[in-house]
Structure 1
Amino acid sequence: MRITFIGGGNMASAIIAGLSTLGRQDLQLHVVDRNPDKCERMKAAYGITYSNQLSAADIDADVVVLAIKPQQLKALGEQIRPWMRQQLIVSVAAGIRTATLAEWLGGYARIVRVMPNTPAQVQLGVSGLFATEAVRDAEKQTVTSIFEAVGKTVWLQHEAEIDKITAISGSGPAYVFYMIESLASAARTLGFAPELADLLAKETFKGAIALLDASGEPPATLRANVTSKKGTTEQGIMSLQDDGLEAIVTRAAQRAEARSIELGDQLSAAE
């Protein structure tokens, strides 16, 4: 199977790194990117082939992954339109809806839209996937195998759910980083040195997630287990509840979803 990546940025590099660990001899990975130094590094690390200028030969692949900036996608679609045959198009460009991309491709509709997240760079990502009706089940399985190389995959029934998953797993790592920042700030307020405060906050989050994975219990159960009645943790949790942490996080997700919809409207309407 030949997979061509148009764009060799962080997400393409993460996917290629994940695929390279599978040891599949049938995979041929090809990258199109204008930066020759970047391409040479990827060739040395993962054994890819590459081109610095896009041509019809680059698009002669089973799967073509569009991993460029959304603002560049219209021009790219119009460029590769004459070269469309039976390729499966996979777009990780945020905001561009499948109907718009199909229009830019001259009506070509074998498209899967993917919303990955940044932990894909360490093979711990979550990717939301949506396929048009023109995509066959076997092709959906192919896309699943590609993105399972960088984490978990979730197939969505409606394209509008892309905006929802963007608000949760797409933007979610930033929420977590901010919470770690906040816990570290609290540690500094209590008198810890900055380096130790950062260590305590990071390792606390890391350990909590590891425990959650290992235990198989829901977060609410683990929280209850550590929250002794009239104990220290109870006071901390009560403060978070009084300040409305759940409502704060929900509002953040709602605002992120609204912005995702807005950006999708703008980008998909761009001339």
Structure 2
Amino acid sequence: MRIAIVGMGNMGSTFANGFINSRFISPTDVLIYTRSQSASEDSRNVHKLSYRYKLDSDIKTCDIVIVAVKPQDFTTLVGDLRQYVHQEQIVVSVMAGISIDRLKQDLGVDKIVRSMPNLPTQIGRGMTVFTASEELDRKELFIIQNLINTTGKSVYVSEENKIDAATAVSGSGPAYVFYFMEAMIKAAISYGFEPSQAELLVKQTISGALGLYEANSLSTQDWIAKVSSKGGTTEQAIKYFNEQDVMQKLIEGVNKAKAQSEFLGKQIK
């Protein structure tokens, strides 16, 4: 299998390194296209792959073409890329907001995959939601999912509009976790802990809580009940959160992210 990756930003480099580290594909079968001449010294290029700074006909020899550029850069790229892609290839997009129909029309190919990875893909613990055009068969979907899973875990959805929802939940999700962590760290510092101590308290607490959640089949509500005791400290905090409607405010924040993803998609011409 031969793969072309167009764009060597965070996601392009993550996919390249993930594929090779998992031994799913040989470094010699990965073609990297980037517009940045300084990329030859890019620290993200773990496997010292050879970069190309202009699209060329070798793309035609690839089975899969991954487009990992910023959505706003796609309009300047598409004219050249269209010359080299063909109907037998699978084009995988990690560009937010650009629909399958738009990709089909602009590139002149039918086998399209849209994916929404998140930042932890960089350490092999990512979450990617993807969908595909109906022209892909089960075998091809299986290959794509195996590739994506080299960077973490994935979920296939048949409804393309769920990509915007995934952007709001798992794509933006790490920032929500960090936001909550920051609140806990600030509280700890206000109680007299040194910043380094506060960070350790919160980091280990979040890590441990996630470990418990992953090790058992209990729900989040079950775990809240286990940590809370009647008349205890946790009960008071959760009671206050509920009184202040914190849960609903967080949901509304996620809804705002989803709406913005949909809006940005409509703005890309």
TM-score, normalised with respect to structure 1: 0.92
Please tell me whether residue 78 in structure 1 is matched to residue 56 in structure 2. Answer: no
2:84 matched to 1:87? no
> How far apart are residue 166 of structure 1 and its match?
0.8
Matched residue, 1:195: 196
Q: Secondary structure at the match of 2:83?
A: helix
* 1:176 maps onto 2:206 in alignment: no
The 1:102/1:61 distance shift into structure 2, 3 A limit, reads same
Q: Which residue of 1 aligns with 2:132?
A: 131
Moved over 4 A (4+): 40-44
The alpha-carbon deviation at position 190 of structure 1 amounts to 2.0
Q: C-alpha displacement at 1:255, in angstroms?
A: 0.6
Q: Decide which moves more: 32-41 or 73-82.
A: 32-41
Partner of 2:212: 211
- Partner in structure 2 of residue 258 of structure 1: 259
Structure 1 segments unaligned to the other structure (5+ residues): none
Identity %: 34
Partner SS for 1:83: coil
How far apart, in 2, do the equivalents of 1:141 and 1:247 lie? 37
Which whole-Å deviations, capped at 9, do the CAs of 1:173-229 have from their partners, x for residues lacking one? 111110101111111222222221222112211111112112232221111111111
Q: Is the 8 A contact 2:20 2:26 kept in 1?
A: no
| Other-structure match for 2:103 | 101
SS of structure 2 residue aligned to 1:45: coil
Retained in 2: the 8 A contact 1:33–1:39? Answer: no
Shift, 1:266, TM fit? 0.7
User: 1: distance between equivalents of 2:249 and 2:154?
Assistant: 27
Displacement of 1:233: 1.1
Q: 1:142 to 1:252 in 2, by over 3 A?
A: same
Question: What pairs up with 1:8-47 in 2 under 5 angstroms?
Answer: 8-24=8-24, 28-39=29-40, 45-46=46-47
Do the aligned residues in 2 keep the contact of 1:74 with 1:101 (CA within 8 Å)? no
Could you tell me how far apart the structure 2 residues matched to 1:203 and 1:72 are?
40
Q: Is 1:155 the counterpart of 2:145 in the alignment?
A: no
Q: How far did 1:42 drift? A: 6.9
Number of aligned residues: 267
Q: Output the CA distance in 2 between the equivalents of 1:39 and 1:237.
A: 51
Q: Secondary structure at the match of 1:130?
A: strand
Cα distance, 1:64 vs structure 2: 0.4
Aligned-partner Cα distance in 1 for 2:174–2:17 = 20
Q: Could you tell me how far 1:109 is from its partner in structure 2?
A: 2.0
Q: 1:44 to 1:81 in 2, by over 3 A?
A: closer
Shift of 1:70: 0.4
What one-letter code is carried by the residue in structure 1 that aligns with 2:90?
Answer: L
Change (3 A) 1:43 1:245: closer
Segments of structure 2 that go 5 or more residues without pairing to the other structure are: none
SS of structure 1 residue aligned to 2:46? helix
Q: For residue 65 of structure 1, what is the aligned residue in structure 2?
A: 66
Distance in 2, matches of 1:219 and 1:173, equals 17
Shift of 1:44: 6.8
Change over 3 Å in CA distance of 1:39–1:30 after alignment to 2: farther
Instruction: Give TM-score, length-normalised by structure 2.
Output: 0.93
- Give the conservation status (yes or no) of the 8 Å contact 1:95–1:260: yes
- Cα distance in 1 for partners of 2:194, 2:99 equals 47
